Structure 1
Amino acid sequence: MRGNSTVTPIRIAPLLALAGLTLPPIATSSQDDRPATATGVVFHDRDRDGSRGDDEEGIAGVRVSNGREIATTDAEGRYELPIDDDTILFVIKPRGWMTPVNEDHLPRFFYIHKPAGSPESRFPGVAPTGPLPESIDFPLHPQAEPDVFRALFFGDTQPRDLKEVEYIAHDVIEPILREGTDASFGVTLGDIVFDDLSVMDPLNKAIALIGIPWYNVIGNHDMNYDADDDDHSDETFERIYGPSYYAFDHGPVHFLVLDDVSWFVPEGEDRGRYIGGLGARQMEFIRNDLAMIPEDQLVVLMMHIPLLEVEDRQELYRLIEQRPFALSVSAHTHFLEHVFIGEEDGFRGAQPHHHVVNVTVCGSWWSGTPDEQGIPHTTMRDGAPNGYSVFTFDGHDYDIEFRAARRPADHQMTIFAPEEVASSDAGDTEVLVNVFNGSEKSTVEMAFGDSESWTLLEHVAVPDPYYAKMKELEAGANPPPGRKLPGIIDSPHIWRGLLPADPEPGTHVIRVRTTDQFGKTYFDQRIIRVR
């Protein structure tokens, strides 16, 4: 088991190890032609030391997987699964129990079996693990998990280097620490870093300061680009975070973490590339996993590439479209969007499937003019600020709150209108409102001055006007400092209306209120002069 004590919290047959005895290996496919079988116990780790003591009983009914099949522990907590020489065994955390976490609050729920270790790579993978141990045991300890709980969702943290880790620390993590959080856990939805996988360690240590278990999804910038195939593209990710796809329960919700980044090197080419895809092995795990989940349980699928860009998504649709309670969350695009997938994309469920493209922590890849603290404003190309989401789960229900980096919790929109307008022109003057977390299910209304008459605004797909102005400045003779922002897009969450005709001259307030799909209402206002 050489090299694995730092990879997982599992300690194999501790009494034998203390006695200085060598564990007899189980035959593997490299030793004979028969498939190997792994066995072990999921146990109640009463003293939370990671080792099974004489008084620490096995836990029945816990699921354990090899990334394809799923076994359920028997009355004594024992499981048995086939493996090969490149297998990660992992426990599917049940409700009311928790796995150990390491010093960076990364859950340790897996055991890596790679007798020969990972292939050589620019960024190291898994060291050789040696022969298969006699018993691979998974420790769990009880924890309270109420029906209602919160989780923090980070899209694309994506630092290139240590300086950008510092941006994340000051821009996002410090405000969370100041405000405090009651979130039960957090998750980064892929593109944890930006190609340099050595940056994962300092980033993990910064996020660990939040003090909650932190799960991770693999993204296209988290891969070993010198790999020849998809199977070996996640070796560094596996060493640090474990399997690239897995599942766990928290409270009444089942979470399914997917690896939807498929890496390949086209024939005759030296450089690899990626597409959105799940693959046959992962699909088998998903089928087996969901077959064990009651149809009336909320299932949350977490991935990096948005579902509409995953080539084999139709097979996944067949598995979730019969479920009345399912949600999926991704990142990757660097703009925020709520997508409701229906028949137009082959989804056959009774209701459209809600897919969230989450706000990114790095915004537009840490682009834009630096502020007084030296941190780029990094506005996303939909006009929304960088930040993160707070998900609240309550049985079958959920809601999502947008949180802008270093802004108050109620900063949910921007209002665009001229500074001054002639009274005679007001009725033809456009007001645009960018509601960052808005969707086709949102309502947005506007009132002018002291009027209590609210006008419903029209949902339109147009570029954010403030972002357009920043791009104009970049193209001018004296561009502002900082990395140039990415190209503008038609924002999916802008609403449009007109000022009232012939208002009285003076200084007035444009008031806007929006109610989101979860029933939460937010207010904002902008001052305008009428001459």
Structure 2
Amino acid sequence: MFRRKFLQSLGFVSAGLSLPLAPAALAADPAQTPPTGQKLSLAPLTIKGKVHQGGTGLAGVAVTDGYNIVLTDKAGKYTLESNATADFVHVSIPRGYAFPHEKGVARFYQPIKPGTAKMTADFALQKLASDDTKHTFVVWADPQMINKKDCHELLTSSAPDLQKLAAQYDANTFAIGCGDLVWDKFELFEDYKKAVEISSLPFFQVIGNHDLDLTARADEGSSRTFKSHFGPTYYSFNRGEIHYVVLDNVFFIGPPKKYIGYLPEQQLQWLEQDLSHVKPGTTVVVALHIPVNSGDQRR
């Protein structure tokens, strides 16, 4: 009962996103679902690193592997005990710092190589030139590109329009691509990224149902291609006095194009940890693609 109430309330919060509110290429992540006959490795993995600006450590920054979250110490250092099922280590960018990106696509994470027992992951951040308490973010949802004609329109019309819009806002403006970046045509992710570059804004991505590998055996493998382009499917970051959370609630149930709105227990446990580090009373903005508790009618 408590889970249902929580998910329903989360759905109401996330609905607010639809309102207008004023470094090299990364390798694909390992397959989450092992081939038949191959055992899933649970080998332990120790991740250590430092979050810093120009070598000076930043204290109290959240670092996660998608399972557990730790905070950096006074020197900006952290140790995260993980295992071989984790795909990425990523940082929740604190307020007052720029969003690392590659041609606009947010790069706040590092992939974990398969078979790794120890890993060092440092994150270099840059202080913003101005206070970010007042800021703007733009939601760009459902481009749903299915062919090159759609791509041409996005690149020559929508992206330039967004660039002009962003020029009217403050320097701390960012954007969220809220899912269905393409329509099952993963080769068009490259065109989406070109559009992001044209926009001149740092972009965070949400996974949508048309961004899933619909030939995957289970939900665990359905986000493989998306992750190879955009990193983890759930994470958080901060800008000004607002805490932003991106969730992956498009749960693939097997048959082609069958999915429901659902948040697995692993993600809920991560979310509980994430919010435990947020000051009570802080505004939290949640971004996800579909209603959280869609029910049987979506099956």
Task: Say whether the fold is shared (TM-score over 0.5).
Answer: yes
Q: Please, which of 7, 20, 40 is the counterpart of residue 26 of structure 2? A: 7
Matched, 1:233 2:222: yes
Distance 1:304 1:155 in 2: 9
Distance 2:295 2:124 in 1: 35
Q: Secondary structure at the match of 1:201?
A: helix
Q: Give the number of equivalent residue pairs.
A: 257
1:203: how far off? 1.5
Q: Please, which of 264, 267, 279 is the counterpart of residue 253 of structure 2? A: 264
- Distance 1:112-1:160 versus aligned 2 partners, 3 A rule: same
Is this contact kept in 2: 1:228–1:272, CA < 8 A?
Answer: no
1:241: how far off? 0.6
Q: Deviations over 1:482-517 (max 9, x none)?
A: xxxxxxxxxxxxxxxxxxxxxxxxxxxxxxxxxxxx
* Residue equivalent to 2:84: 85
* Residue equivalent to 2:288: 303
Matched, 1:172 2:158: yes
1:309: how far off? 2.3
- Distance 1:172-1:34 versus aligned 2 partners, 3 A rule: closer
Find the structure with the greater CA-based Rg: 1
What amino acid does structure 1 have at the position aligned with 2:108?
F
1:278-357 maps to which residues of 2 (within 5 A)? 278-307=263-292, 309=294
Unaligned ranges ≥5, structure 1: 9-28, 47-55, 116-129, 312-531
- Distance 1:232-1:34 versus aligned 2 partners, 3 A rule: closer
1:36: how far off? 2.0
Distance 1:295 1:282 in 2: 21
Distance 2:246 2:159 in 1: 23
* Residue equivalent to 1:199: 188
Distance 1:114 1:229 in 2: 22
Q: Deviations over 1:34-67 (max 9, x none)?
A: 62221111121x3xxxxxxxxx122111000111
What amino acid does structure 1 have at the position aligned with 2:240?
G
1:183-222 maps to which residues of 2 (within 5 A)? 184-222=173-211
What amino acid does structure 1 have at the position aligned with 2:44?
P
Distance 1:174 1:83 in 2: 42
* Residue equivalent to 1:465: none
What amino acid does structure 2 have at the position aligned with 1:61?
G
Is this contact kept in 1: 2:262–2:293, CA < 8 A?
Answer: no
Q: Deviations over 1:149-188 (max 9, x none)?
A: 1111111111102210122234422233345342510111
Q: Secondary structure at the match of 1:215?
A: strand
Q: Secondary structure at the match of 2:150?
A: helix
Is this contact kept in 2: 1:86–1:113, CA < 8 A?
Answer: no
Higher strand share: 1
1:133: how far off? 5.0
Q: Secondary structure at the match of 1:98?
A: coil
Is this contact kept in 1: 2:213–2:222, CA < 8 A?
Answer: yes
Matched, 1:37 2:37: no
1:272: how far off? 5.8
- Distance 1:271-1:152 versus aligned 2 partners, 3 A rule: closer
Distance 1:187 1:208 in 2: 13
Distance 2:164 2:125 in 1: 31
Identity percentage of aligned residues: 29
1:385-464 maps to which residues of 2 (within 5 A)? none
- Distance 1:69-1:131 versus aligned 2 partners, 3 A rule: closer
Distance 1:200 1:43 in 2: 31
Matched, 1:136 2:121: yes
What amino acid does structure 2 have at the position aligned with 1:223?
L
Q: Please, which of 261, 282, 285 is the counterpart of residue 276 of structure 1? A: 261
1:81: how far off? 1.5
- Distance 1:150-1:259 versus aligned 2 partners, 3 A rule: same
Is this contact kept in 2: 1:192–1:200, CA < 8 A?
Answer: yes
What amino acid does structure 2 have at the position aligned with 1:83?
S
Matched, 1:160 2:146: yes
* Residue equivalent to 2:57: 58
Is this contact kept in 1: 2:95–2:132, CA < 8 A?
Answer: no
Is this contact kept in 2: 1:278–1:310, CA < 8 A?
Answer: no
Is this contact kept in 1: 2:206–2:233, CA < 8 A?
Answer: yes
Distance 2:257 2:138 in 1: 33
Q: Deviations over 1:256-313 (max 9, x none)?
A: 0010101122xxxx646211111011000111111111221100000000245278xx
Is this contact kept in 1: 2:105–2:204, CA < 8 A?
Answer: yes
Over the residues paired in the alignment, what is the CA RMSD in angstroms?
2.2
Higher helix share: 2
- Distance 1:164-1:279 versus aligned 2 partners, 3 A rule: same
- Distance 1:145-1:227 versus aligned 2 partners, 3 A rule: farther
1:102: how far off? 0.7
Distance 2:56 2:295 in 1: 43
- Distance 1:178-1:79 versus aligned 2 partners, 3 A rule: closer
What amino acid does structure 1 have at the position aligned with 2:289?
H
What amino acid does structure 2 have at the position aligned with 1:191?
D
* Residue equivalent to 2:100: 100
Q: Deviations over 1:2-24 (max 9, x none)?
A: xx95229xxxxxxxxxxxxxxxx
* Residue equivalent to 1:252: 241
Unaligned ranges ≥5, structure 2: 1-22, 28-39
Q: Secondary structure at the match of 1:187?
A: strand
Matched, 1:148 2:147: no
Q: Secondary structure at the match of 2:135?
A: strand
Q: Secondary structure at the match of 1:226?
A: coil
